Amino acid sequence: MDRSDVVAELEKLARDRDSRDELAELRNRFTIPDGVSYLDGNSLGPPCRTTSAALTELVDRQWAPALIEAWERHDWWSAPRRVGDRIGRVLGAAEGQVVVGESTSVQIFNALTTGCRLAAGREVVLVDADHFPTDLYLSRSVTRLLGLRPLRVPMGDAVGALDEHGDEVAVVFCSAVDFRTGELADIPGVTEAAHRRGALVLWDLSHAAGLVPLELDTWQVDLAVGCTYKFLNGGPGAPAFLYVSHRHQDSADPVLTGWHGHRAPFGMDPEYQPAEGIDRFRIGTPQVLSMLALEHALAVFDEVTTVRLWEKCGELADFFRHCFAQLCGDLDLTIVTPADPARRGGHITVHAPEAARRWKALAERGVLGDLRNPDMLRFGLSPLVVRFSDVVRAVTELADISRTGAHLDDRFGGSGLMG
Ligand SMILES: *Cc1c(COP(=O)(O)O)cnc(C)c1O
C-alpha cells in the first residue's frame, strides 16, 4: 500500500471513531479557530464559547451596579472556597480542602513552606529532578530560606531514595506528570513510600488536574498545588489552587499570612490569628474576574468524569502511536512518552532534531503543538477538544514535513518563539 492509501485508511478510521465518540459534542463548548488542530490544551486550554458573555455579565450586572456590595451580594467573598470545592471534586477531595487564588508560584511557595514547617526537625526536601523550572527554583530558594537541604532525585528513583534517606526527608515535592516527557508518576505509590518514612508529600498537579482521575483523599496526599489554565481551561493567568488535607489544616502555620486568611478578616486585628480550616490559606483579595471565568469553565466537569476523559485521552494516545508507527517508522523521530497507560499523562512527546523548525512548520499547516527546546515536540491530547481526526492530521503533517525536509526552509529558522 502506498503512503496516500495508508493516510486515507487512517483518516477513515479517525472519522469512524469521531462519529462514535460521545464526548465529541463537548468540543462545541469551546472556541477553536476553523482549520486548527489544537494539540496544546495542556499548556493553555481554549476558551468556552460562553466565557466572554459570562465576563461581560459579571462586569455589567455585578461589579458596575453593586460596586463594593458585590462582595456580599454576589458572593465574591466565598469564591476562593466555592471554586476550590469545585476543583476538589475533580481532584478526589472532599469539601473544605481546596482554595483558589494567587499564582502557581505563590501557591507552591505557601505549600512547600507549610509542609516544611509541619515536618519540623527534618532537613531534606526531596525534589523531582525533572520538575518544572519554577518548582525547581522555588525548592532551592525555600530550602535556602529555611536552612534545609534540597535533594534532586529522578521520579523513577524516588521510592529508593526514600528507603535510603527517608528519615531525614521533610517533604517530597514532585510533578504528577513530567512536563517534558509526559510520564505519569505513581502518585499513590510515592505518597505511601513517603508516609512509611514519616515524610509529607506535595504534588504539583498542573498537568494532571482535569484529566487524570485523582483520589487525593483516598491516597492520603498531604498537599497539592496546580495551575488552572491547562486541562481546566480557566484562561491565561487564571488563579492557581492549593489542596491541604483536613488532617493538617489545624496544625498548619502558613508563611503567607494576609487579611483574607484571618479568623476575623474585618476585625483589622494588628495580630494574625489564622482562620479555621482551609480559609487560613487565603491571602489577599483574589482575582475575582479570572476566578469567575474559571468557575464558568469548570461547569463541563459536572457533565463528564475524569475517568471517562482519561479513557478517551488513552484512546487518542494509542491512536497517535498507531498513526506514528505507520507513517513515521522510518524517520528521525522517536516517541519518548511511555506506551504503558499507567505511566503516561496527557501529552505525547516526540524526540525530533531541530524541533523548533518542525514546530513552526506544523503551526503553518494548522497543527498547533508545543515545543520544548532543543529537540522535543509535545502533542497535548486534551480529550475535551482533540478529535481522532486531529491526531491523524498532526502525525501526517509531521511525517510529511520530516520526509520532505519542509522545515529546513529559511522561514522556519531562528529560535522558538514560545519555547
Ligand atoms: C504549568 C506549570 C506551572 C506553571 O506555573 P505558572 O506560574 O502558572 O506559570 C508550574 N508547575 C508545573 C509543574 C507546571 O506544569
Cβ atoms < 10 Å from Cβ of 144: 11
What band does 417 get if pLDDT is binned at 50, 70 and 90? low
Ligand 1: residue whose CA is nearest its atom 9: 104
Confirm or deny that 133 is annotated as ligand binding: yes
Ligand 1: residue whose CA is nearest its atom 1: 206
What band does 92 get if pLDDT is binned at 50, 70 and 90? very high
Confirm or deny that 296 is annotated as ligand binding: no
pLDDT at position 320 is 98
Cβ atoms < 10 Å from Cβ of 319: 19
Confirm or deny that 305 is annotated as ligand binding: no
- Region 171-199 average pLDDT: 97
Which atom of ligand 1 sits closest to the CA of residue 240?
8
- Residues with a CB atom less than 6 Å from ligand 1: 103-105, 132, 134-135, 175, 179, 204, 206-207, 227
pLDDT at position 415 is 57
- Give the distance (Å) from ligand 1 centre to CA of residue 226: 7
Q: Is the pLDDT of residue 85 over 70?
A: yes
Ligand 1: residue whose CA is nearest its atom 6: 104
pLDDT tens for each residue of 342-401: 999 999 999 999 999 999 999 999 999 999 989 999 999 999 999 999 999 999 999 999
Confirm or deny that 105 is annotated as ligand binding: yes
pLDDT tens for each residue of 238-280: 999 999 999 999 999 999 999 999 999 999 999 999 999 999 9
Q: Is the pLDDT of residue 211 over 90?
A: yes
Which atom of ligand 1 sits closest to the CA of residue 230?
1
pLDDT tens for each residue of 154-171: 999 999 999 999 999 999
> End-to-end CA distance of the chain, in Å?
38
Which atom of ligand 1 sits closest to the CA of residue 131?
13
pLDDT tens for each residue of 117-163: 999 999 999 999 999 999 999 999 999 999 999 999 999 999 999 99
Query: Domains in the chain, ordered, with CATH?
Result: 3-49+304-412 (3.90.1150.10), 75-302 (3.40.640.10)
Share of the chain above pLDDT 90, in %: 97
Q: Is the pLDDT of residue 299 over 80?
A: yes
Q: Is the pLDDT of residue 68 over 90?
A: yes
Q: Is the pLDDT of residue 418 over 60?
A: no
Ligand 1: residue whose CA is nearest its atom 2: 206
pLDDT at position 198 is 97
**Which contacts of 162-165 are long-range, i.e. CB under 8 A and separated by 24 or more positions?**
162/126, 162/190, 162/193, 162/194, 162/196, 162/197, 162/199, 163/193, 163/197, 165/124, 165/126
Contacts (Cβ under 8 Å, ≥6 apart) of 86: 295, 298, 301
Ligand 1: residue whose CA is nearest its atom 13: 132
Residues 92 and 199 sit within 8 Å (Cβ to Cβ): no
Q: What strands lie across the sheet with 149-153, from one edge to the other?
A: 98-100, 241-244, 223-226, 200-204, 169-175, 124-128, 149-153
- Give the distance (Å) from ligand 1 centre to CA of residue 206: 6
Three-class DSSP labels, the chain? CCHHHHHHHHHHHHHHHHHHCCCHHHHHHECCCCCCEECCCCCCCCCECCHHHHHHHHHHHHHHHHHHHHHHHCCCCCHHHHHHHHHHHHHCCCCCCEEECCCHHHHHHHHHHHHHHHCCCCCEEEEECCCCHHHHHHHHHHHHHHCCEEEEECHHHHHHHHHHHHHHEEEEEEECECCCCCEECCHHHHHHHHHHCCCEEEEECCCCCCCCCCCCCCCCCCEEEECCCCCCCCCCCCCCEEEECHHHHCCCCCCCCCHHHECCHHHCCCCCCECCHHHHHCCCCCCHHHHHHHHHHHHHHHCCCHHHHHHHHHHHHHHHHHHHHHHCCCCCCEECCCCCHHHECCEEEEECCCHHHHHHHHHHCCEECEEECCCEEEEECCCCCCCHHHHHHHHHHHHHHHHHCHHHCHHHCCCCCCC
Confirm or deny that 229 is annotated as ligand binding: yes
- Region 65-91 average pLDDT: 98
Which atom of ligand 1 sits closest to the CA of residue 177?
13
The model carries a pTM of: 0.97
d(CA 334, CA 295): 39
Confirm or deny that 104 is annotated as ligand binding: yes
Mutate-to-test residue for ligand 1 from 104, 205, 294, highest number of ligand atoms within 8 A of CB: 104
Output the nine-digit C-alpha cell for 80.
476562593
Q: Is the pLDDT of residue 414 over 80?
A: no
pLDDT at position 1 is 79
> What's at 309, amino acid-wise?
L
- Give the distance (Å) from ligand 1 centre to CA of residue 323: 30
- Give the distance (Å) from ligand 1 centre to CA of residue 203: 12
- Region 314-331 average pLDDT: 97
- Give the distance (Å) from ligand 1 centre to CA of residue 134: 7
So which residues are the catalytic ones?
A: 132, 204, 229-230, 378
Which atom of ligand 1 sits closest to the CA of residue 207?
15
pLDDT tens for each residue of 216-231: 999 999 999 999 999 9
What band does 329 get if pLDDT is binned at 50, 70 and 90? very high
- Give the distance (Å) from ligand 1 centre to CA of residue 317: 23
